[in-house]
Amino acid sequence: MSLIDKVLKERYKLTELIAEGGMASVYKGTDLLLHRTIAVKILKENLALDKEGVERFYREARSSAKLSHPNIVNIYDIGQEGQIYFIVMEYLPGGTLDKQISSKTPLSVEEVIRIGIEITEALDYAHTKGVIHRDIKAQN
């Protein structure tokens, strides 16, 4: 089922599917109230039917919302509309690290070091706040 052009909570319009994962799909969208581009992570249908899957999804959102760091996306909102569970977050242009690596190969040593430092700084900050990422990979 395509969610393109769907508006959630009369506010968040989904405009483009930008990523698919095992737990969720991520859409680029527009916050119609604040007129800004956003990313909206939507829990997969099979997990939306599972109370434990929904709780894990929202636990991720609540944990991430505690973090304020330049290398970690901001969480703006969480919500539910019918059987659609979603997290609204900051949109960063350029796609995933995986896509950037694929399109720019080979990366320079300086770029690899810069990216590595940004990732480790973000992880260090999250760990000091008691948040453990559990799924570190270029797609995330």
Contact 91, 101 (CB under 8 A): no
Residue 79: pLDDT band with limits 50, 70, 90: very high
d(CA 26, CA 108): 29
Q: Which two tokens mark 106?
A: 């080979």
pLDDT tens-digit readout, 18-57: 988 888 999 999 999 999 999 999 999 988 888 888 999 9
Closest of 47, 49, 55 to residue 23, by C-alpha? 47
Q: Report, as an integer, the average pLDDT of 61-68.
A: 90
- At residue 115, the 3 state secondary structure works out as helix
Cβ distance 7 to 32 under 8 Å? yes
Residue 50 annotated among the catalytic residues of the structure: no
> Which is the catalytic residue, given 50, 98, 124, 135?
135
How far is 11 from 17, CA to CA, in rounded Å? 18
pLDDT at 104: 60
Q: How far is Cα of residue 68 from the mean position of the Cα atoms in its chain? A: 15
pLDDT score at 70: 93
> What are the tens digits of pLDDT across the range 104-139?
678 889 988 999 999 999 999 999 998 888 777 777
**Single-letter amino acid, residue 47:** L
